[in-house]
Amino acid sequence: MHNYVSIGILSISLVFTTAAGFAHTPPDEARVFFIGLQSGDTVKSPVEIRFGIEGFGITPAGTTGKIRHQAGHYHLLVDQDTLPDLDNPIPRDAYHIHFDGGETETRLGLPPGRHTLQLLLGDEDHEPHDPPLISQKIIIWVE
């Protein structure tokens, strides 16, 4: 009798975990990218940067409604050689910029020289999705 109860509880927790996993899983065709800015471009500071997304949506950080299962918010990674830990909230500093309000563009002041930019979508808790939505990393030159 005791074993039945344990198995019942285990089954319920497995179903719940699977459902939650699906909820934050973007479709295969989803992608994020920069609009109007390409690797190798030479630009002036402040750099105008526009973010694009296909197959998934944008919603502010902290969203509690169902839309959070199909949308996230942008993070701009500046001059990063490696990605942050994709199983934890994205750091918040001058090199990991959160667009909590669901913004889709920014003007970023950068010193002259070579810089890299990359977009990473995060969920309502600032964690990357599974699989993560990451743009190509672009290299730009600031005059």
* Per-residue x/- track, 54-73, Cu ion (CB under 5 A): -------x------------
Q: 61 or 138: whose CB is closer to Cu ion?
A: 61
Rounded CA-CA distance 124/129 in Å is 10
Choice between 90 and 140, CB closer to Cu ion:
90
By CB under 5 A, residue 98 contacts Cu ion: yes
Residue 98 Cα distances to 2, 95, 110, angstroms: 49, 10, 17
Cβ–Cβ under 8 Å, residues 141 and 114 = yes
Number of residues that bind Cu ion (CB under 5 A): 4
Region 109-138 residues binding Cu ion, contact defined as CB under 5 A: 122, 126
Q: Quick count: other Cβ atoms within 10 Å of Cβ 41?
A: 14
Q: Which residues bind Cu ion (CB under 5 A)?
A: 61, 98, 122, 126
